[in-house]
Amino acid sequence: MKRKLKNEELDRLEISEFKDAEKSPIIIILDNIRSLNNIGSVFRTSDAFLIEKIYLCGITAQPPHNDIRKTALGSTETVDWEYAENTLDVVEKLKAEDVNICSIEQAENATMLNDFKPQSNKKYAFVFGNEVKGVDQNVVDASDVVIEIPQYGTKHSLNISVSCGVVIWDVFSKMKKPI
């Protein structure tokens, strides 16, 4: 039998336990994201995989906001976040802290996600771009690597929150971070 588990059987962390838990060496940078629902979804995915921090840059909205709250389901209270006006400033700050910057974008000489090999002793920041324009070219230029999610259909684009989920799961599983 495959009985579905009830919420109280899932052994989820309390907010204080989440705050004290060892985080994944992963940072998310949102570069001018327009959709409040996408922002909330990124928070929720970041909570699921114990992401260290989210940077909300440019026009990216910040909590508290009802449309973010709808999809975040409380994760804006667990995941650390910070607003910055300029994405490139955040990238340069993190590079100075020896964080590897990875833009998620379709670009010349991009590394396909399935070929990306994160090192377990390194910290990574993944930049996700605007729903229309993608990651700003200046940020792509400043990145240590550009990672592309292989796609085989006609659209060649994924929703930003879907892209974030795919990348976080892939990198998290490759780093073998215990849950």
Which CATH number is 123's domain given? 3.40.1280.10
At residue 30, φ and ψ (nearest 5 deg) are -100, 115
Q: Is residue 62 part of a domain?
A: yes
pLDDT in tens, the chain (179 residues): 899 999 889 989 999 999 999 999 999 999 999 999 999 999 999 999 999 999 999 999 999 999 999 999 999 999 999 999 999 999 999 999 999 999 999 999 999 999 999 998 999 999 999 999 999 999 999 999 999 999 999 998 999 999 999 999 999 999 974 54
Nearest to 102 by CA among 163, 144, 58, 158: 144
Q: Is residue 153 part of a domain?
A: no
What local confidence, expressed as pLDDT, does residue 69 receive? 95
Q: Is residue 20 part of a domain?
A: no
Q: Is residue 106 part of a domain?
A: yes
What local confidence, expressed as pLDDT, does residue 11 receive? 87
At residue 87, φ and ψ (nearest 5 deg) are -60, -40
Q: Is residue 9 part of a domain?
A: no
Nearest to 32 by CA among 148, 114, 166, 127: 127
Q: Is residue 1 part of a domain?
A: no
- The total domain count for the chain is 1
Within the chain, strands assigned E span 24-31, 51-57, 81-84, 100-104, 111-112, 124-128, 145-148
Q: Is residue 136 part of a domain?
A: yes
Tokens 């999610």 — which residue? 149
Residue 135: which domain range? 25-148+158-175
